[in-house]
Amino acid sequence: MAEATKDLVRRLFEDVFNEQHLDLTRELMAEEYIEHAVEPFGRQEPGQVHGPSHQRGVVEWLRAQFPDLRMTIQSIVAEGELVVARIRSEGTNLGSLDGVAPPTGKRFIADQSHWYRIADGRLCEHWATRDDLSAMLQLGVIHSPGRPT
């Protein structure tokens, strides 16, 4: 059972995020999905969403900002209905950052952890902890205190 649940998360990152096989979201994601992650510059978590279309939108949104986005699984652990993956995310900012900042043309590398709850063989709930501060510093969107801009 643990390998099957880990495989769902592997496929999400490797096949959907990296290879952009967006139709797989219908197979991997539950229709009724709870999203707890707030996007950078976001103000609130989405909550209850339609899983396949929400995940497709997340990938499209990220790819519009970072066309060469790559998410590499560093480690993955499963216990019961939970799977957690430690991810290294990297890409070049060539699109507007969520409509808030213009493209910087700079690359970032940042670590993340993504937690998923699995039910009936599909991803049905998600939490994330991302190092958005390091990413924004690398992209030049924000600057360290005391350093010239």
Per domain, the residue ranges of the chain are 2-139
Sequence-distant (6+) residues with CB within 8 A of 139 are 93, 97, 104, 106, 108
Q: What is the pLDDT of residues 114-148, one digit of tens each?
A: 999 999 999 999 999 999 999 999 999 998 887 66
Residue 39 pLDDT grade (very low, low, confident, very high; cuts 50, 70, 90): confident
What is the pLDDT, as a whole number, of residue 41?
Answer: 66
> According to the CATH classification, is domain 2-139 in 3.40.50.1820?
no
Q: What is the pLDDT of residues 2-11, one digit of tens each?
A: 899 999 999 9
Measure the CA–CA gap between 40 and 89, rounded to whole angstroms: 14
pTM above 0.75, yes or no: yes
Q: What is the DSSP string of 115-146?
A: EEEEETTEEEEEEEEE-HHHHHHHHTSS--TT
Measure the CA–CA gap between 47 and 125, rounded to whole angstroms: 9
Instruction: Count CB atoms within 10 A of the CB of residue 19.
Output: 11
Average pLDDT, rounded, for the chain: 94
Measure the CA–CA gap between 13 and 15, rounded to whole angstroms: 6
Measure the CA–CA gap between 134 and 71, rounded to whole angstroms: 16
What is the pLDDT, as a whole number, of residue 23?
Answer: 97
